[in-house]
Amino acid sequence: MNGKIQNLIRDITGKGAVSTDASVKGAIACEVEKTAFSQAARILKEAGFRLMAEWASDETFFGRGYAVYAAYNDGSDYLVIKSALPPGEPSFPTLTRHFQGAYRLERQIDSLFGLTPAGHPDLRPWIKHEDWPAEAYPLRKSFAASTAMPRVEREYKWAKASGEGVFEIPVGPVHAGIIEPGHFRFQAVGEDIINLETRLGYVHKGIEKRFESLSWDEAARLSGRVSGDSTVAHAVAFCMAAEEASGCVPTDRARYLRAVMIERERIANHLGDIGAICNDTAFAFLHYQFSILREKVLRTNLRIFGHRLMMDRVVLGGVSADITGEGVAAVLAELNEVSGEFERLVRIYEDSPSLEDRVFGTGVLTPEAANALGVVGFVARSSGQKLDARLQNPFPPYDRFVPRVPLLRSGDVHARAWVRIEEVRDSFRLVKEMLGELPGGPLASEWVRPLPEQSGFSVVEGWRGEIVYWVQCAPDRGINRCMVRDPSSMNWLALEQAVRGNIVPDFPLCNKSFNQSYSGHDL
C-alpha cells in the first residue's frame, strides 16, 4: 500500500489508525462506520478517484446483517470501502451527490435488497418491475430463489415533458432488429429528442441469486453467460476474483491463453459492431464485408479452441483448451489475412462522404459528461477518458504486453467507431506478440475453494470495457455473494445524455455505437 492511499484511509477512518479489511483480496479494502460511507466517497472524489461499483451483501450466515460496499480507482489502485449496517437499520447514505454513476447502482440495491440509499433523489424500482410484489427482495438470504412471483397492479412513473408540440415515443421492449429487449421513451419536439428515458430489467433472470446456489465450477460456466458476447472476459473476471479469494494462482500458459482469447473476443465483436454501425447509416456493403471477417475469426476459434465464441474455455485455475504449434500457425495466418482485408475496408470507411455525414457530430458524449457519469471502456476512451483495466492495474501478461490505447475527445459516433478500429489493430498485434512468446507448462493449476468469508475482487478489460467482479465465500465454502458489474451498468446513462438534441431517426445509430449489453446490465 502506498503512502497516498495510507493517508487517505487515515482521513476516511478519522481515528488515526488504519483499519483495513484483510478478508478482501485483489483490492485494498477498509471498513468504515455507516456514517462515513459517503464521507469516504467525498474524500476519494477530491483525491481523484472514480466510483467503479457499489453493491450490497447479505452477511447473515456470518452472524452479521447487511453490508454495503463501494469500489474506487485512481488510475492504478483499487480501493474497496465497506460499511456494515447495524441490525434493524436497512439504509445507508447515498453516494449520488458525489458520483452520478451511483444513481442506478443504488436503485438496484434498493430494489433487490430492500436497503434504502438515504438522500437518493429517485427511488423508483430498477430492474424490479412495477408488477413485482413490493416486499420481494430476491438477494436477501431469507428469499428462496424459487419463490413464485405473482403480478401486482402498480405503475411506473415516467419522466414527463409538456408544452406545445411535445410528444412521446415509446419503443420496446421488443425492438425491430435482432437485438436484446429494453424500453426507450423519447420526448420529442418535431424530430428533435429533448429527453430519453430508458427502462431496462426485461432480461433479468436472477443471475446473481443463481450464483449463490451453484458449485464453483458451475458458477464459472454461468459467468460465461452473463453477457454472451463477452463470455471470455466475464469468465476470466469471475475466475480471477475466485482465484484471488482462494489464493489459487493460474499457470503462466493459462494467463497467456486467457489474454489471447480476450483479445480475440475484442477483435470479433469490434468487427461485427463497426459493420453494424455502417449498416445503420444504410451502408450495407461494409456491414456484409465486416461480417465476413467476423465469421472468419469465429471459425478459427472453433477450430483452435473448440467453440466459436470460446465459451467455457476459461476455467478455475486456468483454461480448458490448449493451442498446438499448428494452431498458433493457423491463428497467425488468419490474422494476416483478416488484418489485410480489414485495412482495405477501413480505407473504404474513410473514403465515404455519405457515411461521414452521418457519424461525425452525431450522439456526442462530451468529455465532461463522460467523466461525471463515470463511463468506462471504449465509450470513455472516445470521450477523452484514459481508462483501461489493462493499463491501470495490469494483470499478467498485460504487464509485459502493453496495449496502445487510442484516445479521442470528440465523443461522437465516429469516435466510438474509430477507437474500435484502432483497438482491432492493436489486438491483432497483441495476439501475435503473445503467441510468439507463449510459455509452456500445464493449462491449469489445481483449484481449491476459498476459506469462509474470504472474498476476491477483480477487474478485466473486456471489449466493451471494465468488468468488475466481487465473490465472497460462504461458511460452507460455497458462494455467499457474487457481484457482477458489467461495463453497461456505467454506460447506459451516457446514452441518454448523448442522444439529447439529436433527431429520433439517428437514435438507432447512436445506440449501436454504444452497443451496451442488456443481459449484462439486467443480470
Partner 1 sequence: MLKIFHQIFRTGIVTEPLDPAEEAKVTLTGSALEEEVKKRFGGSVTIRLVDAGSCNACELEISAINNPIYDCERFGIHFAASPRFADLLLVTGPVSRNMEIALRRTYDAMPSPKLVVAVGDCGYNGGVFGCSYASLGGVGNVLPVDAYIHGCPPAPSRILNGILKAIRKI
* Contact call for residue 274 and partner 1 (CB under 8 A): no
The C-alpha cell that represents 3 in the structure block: 503512502
Nearest Cα residue to 384 out of 393, 375, 394, 392: 375
Q: In the complex, what is the shortest distance from the CB of residue 205 to partner 1, in angstroms, rounded to a whole number?
A: 4
Select 141 or 225, whichever has its Cβ closest to ligand SF4: 225
Binds partner 1 by CB under 8 A, chosen from 311, 330, 332, 405: 311
Residue 334 in the binding site for partner 1 (CB under 8 A): no
Asked if 210 is part of the footprint of ligand SF4 (rule: CB under 6 A), the reply reads no
Whole-angstrom Cα Rg for the chain: 23
Question: CB of 374 within 8 A of CB of 416?
Answer: no
Q: Which does 91 bind (CB under 5 to 8 A by kind): partner 1, ligand SF4, none?
A: none
Cis link prior to 397 (omega < 30° from 0)? yes
Residue 295 interacts with, from ligand SF4, partner 1, none (CB under 5-8 Å by kind): partner 1
Nearer to partner 1, 26 or 224 (CB): 224
Burial label for 371, CB within 10 Å (0-12, 13-18, 19+), is middle
Q: Which of 108, 251, 385, 517 binds partner 1 (CB under 8 A)?
A: 517
The binder of 176, among partner 1, ligand SF4, none, by C-beta within 5 to 8 A per type, is partner 1
503 binds partner 1 (CB under 8 A): no
Phi, psi (rounded to 5 degrees) for 429: -65, -45
Q: Residues 178, 354, 440, 446: which binds partner 1 (CB under 8 A)?
A: 178
Answer with the entry of ligand SF4, partner 1, none that 174 interacts with (C-beta below 5 to 8 A by kind). Answer: partner 1
Q: Grid coordinates 507463449 are at which residue? A: 438
**Interaction of residue 175 with ligand SF4, rule CB under 6 A:** no
Residues 236/263, Cβ–Cβ less than 8 Å? no
309 belongs to the binding site for partner 1 (CB under 8 A):
yes
177 burial level (CB within 10 Å; 0-12, 13-18, 19+):
exposed
Given 122, 192, 218, 476, the residue binding partner 1 (CB under 8 A):
218
Q: How far apart are CA 230 and CA 311, in angstroms?
A: 9
337 and 347 Cβ atoms separated by less than 8 Å? no
> What would the grid cell of residue 438 be?
507463449
225 is a site residue for ligand SF4 (CB under 6 A): yes
> Pick from 22, 87, 146, 505: which binds partner 1 (CB under 8 A)?
146
In whole angstroms, what is the distance from residue 411 CA to residue 423 CA? 16
Q: Which does 146 bind (CB under 5 to 8 A by kind): partner 1, ligand SF4, none?
A: partner 1
- For the bound state, the minimum distance from the C-beta of residue 119 to ligand SF4, rounded and expressed in Å, comes to 39
Report the residue from 228, 396, 436, 475 that binds ligand SF4 according to the rule CB under 6 A: 228
Q: How many residues bind ligand SF4 (CB under 6 A)?
A: 2
DSSP-based three-state secondary structure for 470: strand
Return d(Cα 458, Cα 236) in angstroms, integer.
Answer: 9
Contact partner at residue 414 from ligand SF4, partner 1, none, CB < 5 to 8 Å by partner kind: none
Can you list the alpha helix ranges (DSSP code H) found in 360-486? Answer: 367-373, 377-382, 389-392, 413-436
Q: Using CB under 8 A, which of 103, 305, 378, 518 touches partner 1?
A: 518
* Sites for partner 1 among residues 4-63 (CB under 8 A): none
Least Cβ distance, residue 229 to ligand SF4 (angstroms): 10
User: d(Cα 317, Cα 139) in Å, to the nearest integer?
Assistant: 28
Backbone angles phi, psi at 312, to 5 degrees: 65, 15
Closest to ligand SF4 by CB, 228 vs 439, is 228
> Of 95 and 233, which has the nearer Cβ to ligand SF4?
233
From the list 52-60, 87-95, 283-291, 372-380, the region that binds partner 1 by CB under 8 A is 283-291
Q: Are 92 and 34 in contact (CB under 8 A)?
A: yes
CB 79 within 8 A of CB 13: no
Least distance from C-beta 174 to partner 1, angstroms? Answer: 5
In the numeric block, the cell 437485438 is attached to 179
**Nearest distance in Å: CB 190, partner 1:** 23
Closest CA to 278 of 289, 264, 292, 268: 289
* Total chain residues near partner 1 (CB under 8 A): 57
Buried b / exposed e along 296-327 (16+ C-beta atoms within 10 A): bbbebbeebbebebbbbbbbbbbbbbebeeeb
Question: Closer CB to partner 1, residue 287 or residue 432?
Answer: 287
Considering only residues 79, 226, 248, 474, which one is a binding residue for partner 1 as defined by CB under 8 A? 226
Neighbours of 150 (CB within 10 A): 8
CB 134 to partner 1: min, Å: 14
The least CB distance from residue 233 to partner 1, in Å, is 13
- Which residues, in sequence order, are CB contacts of 452 under 8 Å at separation 6+? 62, 473, 474, 475, 476, 477
Residue 142 binds to partner 1 (criterion: CB under 8 A): no
| Of 229 and 412, CB closest to ligand SF4 | 229
Least distance from partner 1 to the Cβ atom of residue 163, Å: 31
Binding site for ligand SF4 (CB under 6 A): 225, 228
Give the footprint of partner 1 on this chain (CB under 8 A). 129, 136, 138, 143, 145-149, 173-174, 176-181, 201-207, 209-210, 218, 221-222, 225-229, 231, 272, 285, 288-289, 291-292, 294-295, 298, 302, 308-309, 311, 344-345, 347-348, 351, 517-519, 522
